[in-house]
């Protein structure tokens, strides 16, 4: 038995076989083949199998993120029927007498370059699709016949160097017992997603990751960050008991969902959910959320292979608003950057992306994208109780610039006769020390504050939230961070606007009393954390 230590980023216990995802991608070998017909047949069988798999992914994705965001898998499927693409692969196999894998890879690269050179931006964006679909086809070709068709045929612990939110969305999460990654940390977005999905997760394994072997049984402790490889019977028995206790605890907490978040001394607080997809709303409601405190809208942009259109966004926002009825829904405008990238938008590489052109900065520089989102948001506003907030604000100028665009968009909609609500509150995220320090002035410009402790901690302590090697320095309870929070809350109170917290430390029950005492009005946490938060709040006597 071996023990490997990482960072527990999503609580829970899992016991099962490890599956190591091959994320290498392009290591395609060139081989000479004698039997060209046999190679054609291999290609055709793999092609049909890939289409079948894509179909399955499409159906899974439909359930998770809805129609608009899933159509990409149908497009991929159609590409595998494209006669030009297939003819070119076959020609390569025949003329150069090479293996199908190599022919697919070379043809994929060629088509991708052709797409990149086209004038139409939609067609340009298809270049990543060709590479994606070629890699998928190669993976199927490389699979030996006795191997299972998907790495998750049986429930498994999924191990990867790193996981992007877009990787996770493509998995059949019902078969994922746990996530384990070499990289990542508590506030990386894959970890946030794991908590939303209630999947135990250990990140930041570092060199310990090389100890993991495909197929080996492991115990994953998402609380302590420990992983036990080939556990002995005694340890297995101990962890089975823990796992079952955990499931029972979760079940018993469910009864808290219907309760109000009110302390024993009678102080109540709005307890909201953080979501990334319209599909997460059900979990938020089941766990008893008072509303949505943070809808990370950028996930809509990360799942497809081109920008979501105004209509697609409108549908997504409308779905969330309608499902939430008259409960408040705070949607954050596009917050791209750092670990949230979109493959179809080739933004210049930056030396320090977390300090670079991200979030509101991107939106103000690329106004067309921002306007499309604002149009969709405003049009959706008639379907529920919408609030909108801007991320990564550092100055009043940014707020004024964003609000000016909002006003222009409203005028545009009015002229076009498109309905929207005039009463949408606009707020900002306070997640930079600069915003906290000038929060008294900012409070006069906006309708509410939502404190993003994930970034506030990172920028205050100069500690990269993604860097597992300095995880011990990244401390949301550091007095400097708490001081900035208190300062922000005071500014909000003086200006008479609402203030909430939507970073991960909103769910830190060790800080709940502090937040309540300084006057925080709202906490927004992963849906799965709501019942335990309610329990903790109801036991508090301020």
- By CB under 5 A, residue 455 contacts Mg ion: yes
Nearer to ligand PEP, 321 or 466 (CB): 466
- By CB under 5 A, residue 283 contacts Mg ion: no
Nearer to ligand PEP, 132 or 431 (CB): 431
Q: Give ∠ CA 194-199-202 in degrees, rounded to 5.
A: 75
The half-sphere exposure of 539 on its side-chain side, counting CA atoms within 13 A, is: 10
- By CB under 6 A, residue 454 contacts ligand PEP: yes
Under the phi-then-psi rule, with left for phi > 0, alpha for psi from -120 to 50, and beta for the rest, what region is 284? alpha
CB 122 within 8 Å of CB 72: no
CA distance 190 to 198: 12
Q: For Mg ion, what does the binding mask look like between residues 413 and 442, x meaning CB under 5 A?
A: ------------------x-----------
User: Which stretches within 389-471 are classed as H helix?
Assistant: 396-416, 433-437, 439-442, 453-461
Q: Nearest approach, Cβ of 409 to Mg ion (angstroms)?
A: 24
Which helix (H) or strand (E) segment holds residue 217: the answer is strand 217-221
Which helix (H) or strand (E) segment holds residue 330: the answer is strand 328-332
Binding site members: 296, 332, 431, 454-455, 465
Nearer to ligand PEP, 466 or 497 (CB): 466
CB 497 within 8 Å of CB 451: no
Closest CA to 370 of 395, 403, 348, 341: 403
Please give the DSSP secondary-structure letter assigned to residue 451: E
Q: 98, 137, 502, 530: which one contacts ligand PEP (CB under 6 A)? A: 502
Q: Nearest approach, Cβ of 484 to ligand PEP (angstroms)?
A: 12
Q: 68, 129, 290, 431: which one contacts ligand PEP (CB under 6 A)? A: 431
Residue nearest to Mg ion (CB): 455
- By CB under 6 A, residue 503 contacts ligand PEP: yes
Q: For ligand PEP, what does the binding mask look like between residues 455 and 484, x meaning CB under 6 A?
A: x-----------------------------
Q: Is 76 a catalytic residue?
A: no
Q: Nearest approach, Cβ of 9 to ligand PEP (angstroms)?
A: 13
Contacting range for ligand PEP; rule: CB under 6 A; set: 122-130, 139-147, 452-460, 482-490: 452-460
Which one of 76, 189, 246, 363 is the catalytic residue? Answer: 189
Cross-strand pairs, 524: 272
Contact partner, 503, from ligand PEP, Mg ion, none, Cβ < 5-8 Å per class: ligand PEP
Helix 121-142 vs helix 100-116: crossing angle, to nearest 10? 170
Inter-CA distances, 524 with 295, 452, 453, 489, Å? 10, 10, 11, 15
CA dihedral 426, 431, 437, 439 (to 10 degrees): 10
| β pairing state of 226-229 and 2-5 | antiparallel
- By CB under 6 A, residue 453 contacts ligand PEP: yes
Q: Nearest approach, Cβ of 391 to ligand PEP (angstroms)?
A: 7
Q: How many residues bind ligand PEP (CB under 6 A)?
A: 11
Q: 39, 290, 303, 335: which one contacts ligand PEP (CB under 6 A)? A: 335
Q: Nearest approach, Cβ of 431 to ligand PEP (angstroms)?
A: 5
- By CB under 5 A, residue 452 contacts Mg ion: yes
CA distance 296 to 276: 5
Q: Is 159 a catalytic residue?
A: no
Binding residues for Mg ion, rule: CB under 5 A, are 431, 452, 455
Binding residues for ligand PEP, rule: CB under 6 A, are 187, 294, 296, 335, 431, 452-455, 502-503
* Catalytic (active-site) positions: 189, 502
């Amino acid at each position: 038995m071996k023990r490997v230590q990482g960072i527990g980023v999503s609580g829970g216990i899992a016991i099962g076989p490890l599956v190591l995802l091959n994320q290498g991608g392009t290591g395609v070998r060139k081989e000479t083949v004698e039997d060209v017909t046999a190679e054609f047949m291999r290609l055709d069988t793999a092609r049909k199998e890939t289409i079948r798999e894509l179909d399955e992914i499409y159906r899974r994705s439909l359930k998770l993120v809805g129609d608009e965001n899933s159509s990409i898998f149908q497009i991929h499927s159609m590409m595998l029927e494209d006669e030009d693409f297939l003819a070119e692969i076959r020609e390569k196999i025949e003329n150069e007498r090479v293996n199908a894998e190599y022919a697919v890879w070379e043809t994929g690269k060629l088509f991708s370059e052709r797409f990149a050179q086209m004038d139409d931006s939609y067609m340009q964006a298809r270049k990543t699709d060709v590479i994606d679909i070629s890699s998928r086809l190669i993976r199927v070709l490389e699979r030996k016949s006795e191997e299972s068709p998907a790495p998750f045929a049986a429930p498994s612990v999924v191990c990867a160097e790193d996981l992007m939110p877009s990787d996770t969305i493509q998995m059949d999460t019902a078969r994922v017992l746990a996530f384990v990654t070499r990289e990542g940390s508590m506030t990386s977005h894959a970890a946030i997603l794991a908590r939303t999905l209630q999947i135990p997760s250990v990140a930041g394994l570092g060199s310990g990751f090389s100890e993991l072997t495909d197929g080996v049984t492991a115990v994953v402790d998402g609380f302590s960050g420990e992983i036990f490889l080939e556990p002995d019977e005694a340890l297995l028995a101990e962890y089975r008991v823990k796992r079952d206790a955990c499931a029972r605890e979760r079940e018993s907490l469910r009864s808290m969902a219907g309760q109000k978040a009110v302390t024993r001394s009678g102080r109540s607080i709005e307890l909201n959910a953080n979501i990334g997809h319209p599909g997460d709303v059900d979990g938020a409601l089941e766990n008893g959320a008072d509303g949505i405190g943070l809808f990370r809208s950028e996930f809509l942009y990360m799942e497809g292979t081109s920008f979501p259109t105004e209509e697609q966004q409108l549908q997504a926002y409308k779905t969330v608003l309608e499902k939430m009825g008259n409960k408040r829904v705070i949607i954050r405008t596009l917050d791209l950057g750092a670990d949230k990238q979109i493959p179809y938008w080739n933004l210049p590489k930056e030396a320090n992306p977390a300090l670079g052109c991200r979030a509101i900065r991107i939106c103000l520089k690329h106004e067309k994208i921002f306007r499309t989102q604002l149009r969709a948001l405003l049009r959706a506003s008639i379907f529920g109780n919408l609030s909108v907030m801007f991320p990564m604000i550092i100055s009043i100028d940014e707020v004024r610039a964003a609000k000016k665009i909002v006003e222009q968009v409203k005028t545009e909609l009015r002229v076009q006769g498109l309905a929207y609500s005039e009463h949408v509150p606009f707020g900002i995220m306070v997640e930079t020390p600069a915003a906290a320090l000038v929060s008294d002035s900012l409070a006069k410009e906006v309708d509410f504050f939502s404190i993003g402790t994930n970034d506030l901690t990172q920028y205050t302590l100069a500690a990269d939230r993604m860097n597992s090697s300095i995880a011990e320095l990244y401390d949301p309870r550091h007095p400097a961070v708490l001081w900035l929070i208190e300062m922000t809350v005071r500014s909000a109170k003086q200006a008479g606007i609402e203030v909430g917290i939507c970073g991960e430390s909103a769910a830190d029950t060790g800080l709940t009393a502090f937040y309540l005492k300084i006057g925080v009005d709202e906490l927004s946490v992963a849906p799965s954390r709501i019942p335990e938060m309610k329990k903790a709040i109801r036991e508090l006597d301020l």
